[in-house]
Structure 1
Amino acid sequence: MKIGSIENPKILFFTPYYKQNRGNSTTAKRLVEGFKMWDVTVRVFAYEEDHWDADWEAYFNKADIYHALHLKRFATWFKQYPHLELRKPYILTTGGTDVNEDLKNNAAALLINSVADESCGITVFNDDGKNKIVEAYPALVDRIYVIAQSVYLPTHQGHSSEIQQITGYPKFLLPAGLRPIKDVFYLWDGLTKIRSRWPDLVFTIVGPVLDEEVYKEVKQREKENKWFQYIEEIPLEQMRELYWQADIVLNTSISEGQPSAILEAMSLGKLVAVRNNSGNASIIQDDETGLLFESPKQFHDKVSLLLQSEEKQVELMNKAQIYVNKYHSLEEEMNLYLQVYTHCLAKVYS
């Protein structure tokens, strides 16, 4: 496939994580799957997991274009190799933390600008992300592209017995890495109150350990409360089966870029209830495709009403699935990325 003026370009894709099941790796795996539509050569370097060596450096010099995920993390890693120069066109894709949190820190903002300044395109998941970058770096406005995430949820090929079983009703599932910004116990009081009416309620968190203090709290609460359980990181391929078991999928993050897990759950027609932040609000229309809540009390009130109406549950599930299928398809996402790649390669190699 010819992109810009390059026939079958060679892409070097940088991501913080590719093996560990977290938001960045989900984004990376989805985009790599999308690149297959283009018939291009792509290699993935997970700079928080892999070791940079002569082989990678050779491909770095040979590649036609670079694509890096997460601005601050990439800038921090790249700074360790001062002999490397980004002489080829390169695209940056933001996550959530780099835009919502890192830009608040002057040192981090300067670090981000060190790689953003010479990029040929910066992609963000929603308008809020674009506005935050423009506010920090007004000169970058013409190179920012809004590309919503799509859903990539591969099917598990093993036995169903490998999947953790969840029993009870209602079953609340929170997919989240254990770190402070995910605020995994934000809804604890609200869930406890709901249990007074639905005593078989269960609350499950699934995700990798990213902060030891949060992990300690998780294990302590699991020990003290039979209705709460923690499932350590599982492969993306097993998440589909876990979603199917859940009655309501949650997001409690203080800030978000655009939550892959919520889109995945919606694509399967699951009920979702999410904290009202810019990333969540970019994909959830309150009381139409899911529930947005401002506080644990509001969560309790809205979910309690929802659990009493099977008709409303079916309505939200159907609308959520229709919305994701229409606005978050991999084909549409890759068509938009193709425009960015075409612009970057045409601009430099014309």
Structure 2
Amino acid sequence: MRLLLLAALRAGTGNGTTARRIQDHLQTAGHMCILKDTSDYESPLAVADLISSKNFEAALGIHIYKAGRLLQGSGIPFGIIFGGTDINEDAKCDKKSQVMGTILDEARFAVSFTEAMKETAASYWPRTRSKIHVQSQGIVTAHNPSFNWKKLLQSSGILQDNNCSYLFLLICGLRRVKDPLYLVDAFSDWHRKETAVHLIIIGPAVDPVFAEEVKEKVKRADGVHLLPEIPQEDLHAVVKNCFAVVNSSSSEGMSAAVLEAMDLKVPVLARNIPGNAAVITHKTTGLLYSSPQEFIQLSKTLISDPSLQREIVTRAKEYVTKHHSWDHERKAYQNMVLKLQ
């Protein structure tokens, strides 16, 4: 089939990574799958013109509201993949929720990353429950063994004289929903008492205005550092050599950064929100915190208890291997897309 895959592809979001992975799954099955950015199309009519001009036979959209509304009335069958914004934010707006329900009625199938997300969706749009499939994100990690991560951190003033700092890594595009400033004050206070701890925020400026706010805050915060986006394999090399990966988002669908850290056997401390709690069992596969103060407390516990570190990373790796198989995800999408024939 000639398939259109429609997603928001801006830098610093998980959508692009997810979309390219699904594109690869479908192309491996012999389909021609063309990836397009939702921001390039202002209306369903523009997408209908694209479909007509390129002879697409079916489509997939990532995010019900962002992509699905552009596929409404397109004349070709389509499926929808939920994003965290769909359930955590857009569904709470009555006007958007009504539109989303109509889109789900028209879709051949929908994909949710977690059972919890499916149940929440079914509570908003009960008549669509039977067409919602649960398929976790598949994870594959690869790091660049030749990447000089120490040089990167030294040139940024983070590591000096090869000291053995405890590096906490927060990976996110700089936008408000990721809330990268949530821990900054508490962490800075901690660093002033224990200079070996450092928080590194790394990622692109998705929201330029907010990114400036982050830069100004970090300049005044001891022990907190801001680095620009680097290639994924280099980033994974940094992950493997940090003490822990941090998530501070106020809303998540399913964080690829969290899953990748678990796969790389690095401890994760994540904000206790539904999207994170769906993949992390507290003190088993990671640590969940509900305030900056609790984050500091749990971090100190993790530093002082190497056996807890080993236990968490071992169980997290087992969890990711079992529940986030790339091969299983590939087969699932290759089977689901047959519903669009």
What is the TM-score when the length of structure 1 is the normalising length?
0.85
C-alpha displacement of 1:147: 0.7
C-alpha displacement of 1:155: 4.9
Q: Secondary structure at the match of 1:48?
A: helix
More deviation in 336-345 or 51-60?
51-60
CA shift digits 1:198-224 (9 cap, x unpaired): 312111111222334432221112222
* Matching residue of 1:12: 4
1:218-233 alignment, distance < 5 Å: 218-233=214-229
Q: Secondary structure at the match of 2:152?
A: coil
Query: 2:190–2:296: 8 Å Cα contact kept in structure 1?
Result: yes
Q: Which residue identity lines up with residue 303 of structure 2 in the other structure? A: L
Query: 1:21–1:236: 8 Å Cα contact kept in structure 2?
Result: no
* Matching residue of 1:44: 35
**Counterparts of 1:75 and 1:339 in 2: how far apart (Å)?**
21
Query: 2:283–2:312: 8 Å Cα contact kept in structure 1?
Result: yes
- In the alignment, is residue 29 of structure 1 matched against residue 20 of structure 2? yes
| 1:169 maps to which of 165, 169, 174 | 165
* Matching residue of 1:86: 74
- In the alignment, is residue 195 of structure 1 matched against residue 191 of structure 2? yes
* Matching residue of 1:184: 180
Give the percent of matched residue pairs that are identical in Structure 1 and Structure 2.
27
Q: Which residue identity lines up with residue 279 of structure 1 in the other structure? A: G
What is the CA RMSD across the aligned residues, in angstroms? Answer: 2.7
- Unmatched segments (≥5 aa) in structure 1: 1-8, 346-350
* Matching residue of 2:252: 256
CA shift digits 1:256-277 (9 cap, x unpaired): 1111110011111111000111
Structure number with the bigger relative contact order (C-alpha 8 A, sep ≥ 6) is: 1
- In the alignment, is residue 138 of structure 1 matched against residue 145 of structure 2? no
- In the alignment, is residue 148 of structure 1 matched against residue 140 of structure 2? no
Residues 157 and 34 (structure 1 numbering): CA distance in 2 closer, same or farther, change over 3 Å?
A: farther
Q: Secondary structure at the match of 1:164?
A: helix
Q: Secondary structure at the match of 1:185?
A: coil
**Counterparts of 1:287 and 1:217 in 2: how far apart (Å)?**
33
What is the TM-score when the length of structure 2 is the normalising length?
0.87
More deviation in 86-95 or 258-267?
86-95
**Counterparts of 1:200 and 1:229 in 2: how far apart (Å)?**
14
CA shift digits 1:66-116 (9 cap, x unpaired): 11011121145x28xxxx832222110011112111111112212323422
C-alpha displacement of 1:313: 1.0
C-alpha displacement of 1:310: 1.5
Q: Which residue identity lines up with residue 202 of structure 1 in the other structure? A: H
* Matching residue of 1:4: none
| 2:280 maps to which of 271, 278, 284 | 284
Q: Which residue identity lines up with residue 107 of structure 1 in the other structure? A: K
**Counterparts of 1:25 and 1:153 in 2: how far apart (Å)?**
16
The alignment of Structure 1 onto Structure 2 pairs a total of residues equal to 330
**Counterparts of 2:339 and 2:76 in 1: how far apart (Å)?**
13
Residues 59 and 233 (structure 1 numbering): CA distance in 2 closer, same or farther, change over 3 Å?
A: farther
* Matching residue of 1:3: none
Q: Which residue identity lines up with residue 5 of structure 2 in the other structure? A: F
| 2:243 maps to which of 243, 247, 251 | 247
Q: Which residue identity lines up with residue 133 of structure 1 in the other structure? A: A
Query: 1:11–1:67: 8 Å Cα contact kept in structure 2?
Result: yes
* Matching residue of 1:216: 212
Residues 106 and 264 (structure 1 numbering): CA distance in 2 closer, same or farther, change over 3 Å?
A: same
Q: Which residue identity lines up with residue 26 of structure 1 in the other structure? A: T
**Counterparts of 2:229 and 2:306 in 1: how far apart (Å)?**
32
**Counterparts of 1:34 and 1:107 in 2: how far apart (Å)?**
34
More deviation in 156-165 or 178-187?
156-165
